[in-house]
Amino acid sequence: MDFSFGPADSAFREGARAWLAQHTPRGGQPGYWERELGRGGWIGIGWGETAYGNRSAGLTQQVVWAEEYARAKAPPRTGHIGENLLAPTLLAHGTPAQKARFLPPIARGEELWCQGYSEPGAGSDLAGIRTVARRDGDTYRITGQKIWTSLAHEAQWCFVLARTEEGSRRHHGLSFLLVPMDQPGRIEVRPIRQMTGTSEFNEVFFDGAEARAEHLVGGEGNGWQVAMSLLALERGVSTLAQQIGFAAELERVVAQAVSGRAPGAGADPLDPVLRARLVAQWAELKVMRWNALRTLGGSGDAGAPSVAKLLWGGWHRRLGELAMAVRGTAAAVGPYDWDESRPYELDPLQHLFLFTRADTIYGGSDEIQRTIIAERVLGLPREVRVP
């Protein structure tokens, strides 16, 4: 793809930068920021439709917005799942009534979503899910458990992949359901405490006797096709903003390496192995950016999303390891003296190291991505799966 910015993109950049400079908070609640973005029309700029209170932006302008957002150090988004995953899926597969019901609240930043895919017995093997949904009149009763559900403790809605055909196997008999999370006693959310001390992920339990869903997207039994089209959206414009965040983290690691000149402050920055690792990390980030720009807006390349995930997942994990290497033995010491009254705390680079251990697992593990590339791109024999 011939990817270049024009005069209209420069004007758009100036407008986005000015709005962010005026409105970006330096604190406060994430929910407030989502509503502020909604009032500015900045949620859903890539939907291709403007009937829901959102602006419309072309592909290059979406890249501009993502870059300016990252450069402004605006707060982390809590509405990403609804805006960038569910909304395009509804635009492609939803009914007019579903679009009218769900897209305006997403565009206003009023309703947050989570994704009910992974399960304890399936993990990245999406076709192996066992959550069941049985029709009961105009609704479905849902029984099962989801795990690693990001932001489930804050979301009002969850899109759930469940088995609606009794006796079905693998990718057959699945349906894509929209489930309200406010069902006390019917849906239980249990935060999962991580090594970092935070709990972004959750377990979600659905009580089949009472947990219900009224909205079915794409028709009963067509959940696999809907889910696959959604997964393709996970590697889009947002990866470019992600890379700007990566660049800021790399700068912090380089600064730490340079400060290591002080005796006992960390590793020797003149160490040739350490210098080579820093340079390689920088060069690989540049390659990731150009690869993202090369594939942006393309279609029909079954391996592009998997290649992107392999690249950034491994890169970010190595950056976490490098962050510890430049600190030397000081990396093992927390930011505060031990005190039983103080909560478990890490400094930013320690948090980076621990959190990035998961980068090659969540969002589809490296093993799953390599299998997709082997089967769908290279044409190698399909992996033998146990029923």
Residues with active-site annotation: 234
Question: Which of 55, 36, 37 is CA-nearest to residue 46?
Answer: 55
Contacts 24+ apart (CB under 8 A), 244-252: 244/66, 244/67, 244/70, 244/71, 245/70, 246/285, 246/312, 246/315, 246/316, 246/319, 247/285, 248/70, 249/319, 249/323, 249/352, 250/281, 250/282, 250/285, 250/319, 252/323, 252/348, 252/349
224 neighbors 117 (Cβ within 8 angstroms): no
Pairing relationship of beta strands 187-191 and 202-206 according to DSSP bridges: antiparallel
Q: Cα 227 to the chain's mean position, in Å?
A: 15
Task: Provide the token pair at 382.
Answer: 């399909």
The strand pairing partners of 115, in sequence order, are 159
CA distances, 363 to each of 305, 330, 334 (Å): 11, 32, 29
Gap between the Cα atoms of 278 and 266, Å rounded: 15
Check if the beta carbon of residue 314 is closer than 8 Å to that of residue 285.
Answer: no
Pairing state between β 212-213 and 113-116? unpaired
Residue 166, both tokens: 């009794």
CA 7 distance to own-chain centroid = 31
Question: What φ, ψ does residue 58 adopt, rounded to 5°?
Answer: -70, 175
Classify burial at 299, counting beta carbons within 10 Å of its beta carbon; exposed 0-12, middle 13-18, buried 19 or more: exposed
